[in-house]
Every structure is written in structure tokens, then in C-alpha cells.
Amino acid sequence: MRTSLKKLVAIASDKNNFTSISDYLDFCGRFLEFAARGLQAVIISQNESQYCFYQYKNDGHFNVTRPINSHLMYDAAGSRVIKSGFLKTLRQARDIPVDDAKSRQLIRNSIYTLQQSIGAALDALPAGKSNNARKINGDLFERLIRLLVVELGVDCESGVIRAPVVVDGEELFRMSYQHDLIIRFQGGVKAIGSVKTSSKDRLDKIFMDKFLYNRLAETDIPHIAVFLNDVQRKKTRQENNFGVSATFLPGHFKGYTVKLNPLDGVYYCDIRPNMRTDSILKSHIHTIDHLFCTDLWSFQQ
DNA sequence: ACTACGCCCCGCGAATACCC
DNA sequence: GGGTATTCGCGGGGCGTAGT
């Protein structure tokens, strides 16, 4: 029995329904089963054709979803691959070599599909509820990444760290930092991370956070950032003509990297083409499988 | 016309301040 | 001390503008 869109939206709207990886897997499977038959249309992006948009029927107010990268998003048949293979592969992440493209693609695409299933479902909410959807989607992505790190046996949580601001040997006040990822090995904080579904105009803050936090705390803790993607829907002159536009700011990223401090790992599920071609970008930005397969373990000592 | 960028909007929820 | 109001930081869509 296929889950109704109304039911899917209700599930996705309540964060209590996502407390374990299996909750995400289950929801994803149900959403893709629905999408296989329940959509009004799949609209192809006019400028980057690997992107598409799902359009709902009247049960979803004929809303058009966020852009979905068809090279990364599994369909209903593919969702069975996630269920059978994703966790098994993820648990072996540390031993997956760089050239095992198949395993790495499975990790990357599974994370993307798990999250976009939630995002796309929330896009069915009526207009006035869209901000609600934005908040929930971001929170659930943070939670998913944490759950995946924990699944690998690594201590990871979110929380507030209060850094003392000291002038002339006297603590004037404390500055609160809310971190999405606090990664510990043997009890010690070894990396701090930021998780966002897109960098948008909040990219600068991540660089600033590393700079100021390490300065205040007088440490040199690595800071990483995890992003789902950096595209948004673009509406064109003609109605019903959809495209995507990039929200990543390469000038800012490179400026902060070169002149302030580079981040210690930046990971995307849906990486932009310029992150593979620009020499500065490609040396600092990688696909998300690199975090789980390689970089996470380098923070240990 | 397109890209890069700056900025605003609305709303959520945790933390904090306030009040009885 | 416990409950309520307010503050604060954040998430994500989208628009305006300047430069090319």
C-alpha cells in the first residue's frame, strides 16, 4: 500500500519521526514509492539538464519541488539498493579505497537521496508553511550526518561551547558557539563541523567561526563543513520554465581560504562543476564520501 | 542575459531573562 | 522555584543590483 502524500508530509514535518538511520531509510523508501506513480510531472531544468523538479498533483497543491540532481537521486528501484547496501558499505568506509568508485558513489548518492526525499516531501506544504519546511529540512540534515558519523563508532554530537573572551588576563565575558558537529576521539575534541544544506550567504561565517574560535580558545582545532548542495530554483522570464542557479560564492570561498584561514575539510553531496575545475576550489572541496572514507580518521591524533 | 554577490524575509526553537 | 515572555541565532527561498 502506497503512502499518501499527505501522510508523507505529516511524517516529514515532525522531527521526532527521524531518530535513527533506519527512520531515514524507511521514509526515503516510502517517498520514492510514492514519487514513482503519484506525481503530476517531472520537469527538466532548462539550463542544466541533469536537474529536475517534481511537480505534485492537487494533493500537493501542484507545488514544484526544489531542484533534484537525477545523477544522484535514486528512484524507487534504486531505493532498494540503499536499503540493502548503504549501511553495509558505510560501515566499511575506512577501508574503501579512493578508486572504488562504485562504493563511493553508493555513499554519496544514498545520503543525497535520503535527504532530498525529506526536502522534496516538505515542498508539498502549502505556501504559508514553507519556512517551517526550511527549518525542519536543515535540522534533519544535521541529524543525519551526525547519525552517520556515530554509526562509524565515532563520538559526535551537537552543542554549545562557551569560549572565554580574555583581555589583560581577565575574562570579560563568554561567547557562545553553537556547533553542529563536535567530534571527539578518546574524549578529546578533535574536530568541529558545520552542516548546512547549502552554503548560501552563510559561507563567510564558517571561516570566521574557525578563526575566532581558535583564537579565543587558543587552540588549533580543525573545522570542517558539510553541504548537501548549492543550487536553487531559478525562475526564468517565461512562466513554467524552470532552471537552476548556483548559490555558492567562489570569490568569497577563495578569499577566506587564502587570506584568513583554510577550512580543514569541505564536503558536498552534490558538488558544483567549478569545484572540480578551479585549482583552489578543487584542492579544498571534496565529495562527501571523502569525509567518511578518509578524512574523518585523520582527525584522530 | 547571465553570473556573482549582497541582502531581506519569515519562521522556528533553544537559551536566557523576567515575573509571580 | 517554576512558569512564561523575550531574545538570539539560525535555515533556506528569493529578489535587487552591478559587472560582464
* Position A2 confidence tier, pLDDT thresholds 50, 70, 90: confident
- Which residues, including other chains, have CB under 8 Å from residue A209's CB and lie 6 or more apart? A177, A194, A223
Note the pLDDT of residue A211: 86
- In whole angstroms, B4 C1' to A2 CA is 44
- In whole angstroms, C6 C1' to A147 CA is 33
Footprint on protein of nucleic strand B, Cβ below 7 A: A 15, 47, 128, 131-132, 135-136, 139, 160, 176, 200-201, 236-237, 245-246, 249-252, 274
Nucleotide minimizing C1' to CA distance for residue A247 = B4
Alpha helices for chain A (secondary structure H): 5-12, 21-38, 76-81, 87-91, 101-122, 130-151, 203-217, 250-259, 274-277, 279-284, 289-290, 296-298
Q: In terms of domains, do A200 and A71 share one? A: no
Q: In terms of domains, do A86 and A13 share one? A: yes
- In whole angstroms, B8 C1' to A214 CA is 31
Q: In terms of domains, do A207 and A146 share one? A: no
Note the pLDDT of residue A238: 56
Nucleotide minimizing C1' to CA distance for residue A178 = C9
A228-240 mean pLDDT: 75
Q: Is A48 helix (H, G, I), strand (E, B) or coil?
A: coil
CA within 13 Å, CB half, A265: 25
- How many domains does the structure of chain A reveal? 2
Q: In terms of domains, do A161 and A75 share one? A: no
Domain boundary residue, one of A131, A150, A169? A150
Domain boundary residue, one of A105, A120, A150? A150
Note the pLDDT of residue A298: 95
Q: In terms of domains, do A265 and A195 share one? A: yes
Domain boundary residue, one of A108, A126, A150? A150
Nucleotide minimizing C1' to CA distance for residue A46 = B2
User: Which of the residue ranges A148-152, A232-236, A244-248, A291-295 would you say has the lowest mean pLDDT?
Assistant: A232-236
Q: In terms of domains, do A102 and A239 share one? A: no
% of chain A at pLDDT higher than 70: 98
Q: In terms of domains, do A224 and A246 share one? A: yes
Each residue's pLDDT tens digit, A127-175? 777 777 888 888 889 889 999 999 999 998 888 777 777 778 877 777 7
Q: Is A61 helix (H, G, I), strand (E, B) or coil?
A: coil
Report whether pLDDT(A297) > 80: yes
Within a 10 A sphere around the Cβ of A95, how many other Cβ atoms?
9
Report whether pLDDT(A17) > 90: no
Footprint on protein of nucleic strand C, Cβ below 7 A: A 66, 119, 130-131, 134-135, 137-139, 141-142, 176, 178, 180, 195-198, 200-202, 205, 232-233, 235, 247
Q: In terms of domains, do A95 and A180 share one? A: no
Note the pLDDT of residue A239: 55
- In whole angstroms, B12 C1' to A129 CA is 11
Q: In terms of domains, do A93 and A212 share one? A: no
- Which residues, including other chains, have CB under 8 Å from residue A23's CB and lie 6 or more apart? A17
Within a 10 A sphere around the Cβ of A96, how many other Cβ atoms?
19
Q: Would strands A39-44 and A51-56 be described as parallel, antiparallel, or unpaired?
A: antiparallel
Note the pLDDT of residue A299: 93
Report whether pLDDT(A11) > 70: yes
Each residue's pLDDT tens digit, A52-107? 889 899 898 888 888 899 999 999 998 889 999 999 999 999 999 999 999 999 99
Q: In terms of domains, do A144 and A222 share one? A: no
Q: In terms of domains, do A263 and A146 share one? A: no
Each residue's pLDDT tens digit, A173-216? 777 777 888 898 998 889 988 888 888 778 888 888 888 888 87
Note the pLDDT of residue A169: 80
Report whether pLDDT(A237) > 70: no
Report whether pLDDT(A236) > 90: no
Q: In terms of domains, do A179 and A112 share one? A: no
Nucleotide minimizing C1' to CA distance for residue A228 = C12
Whole domain around residue A49: which residue ranges?
A: 5-150
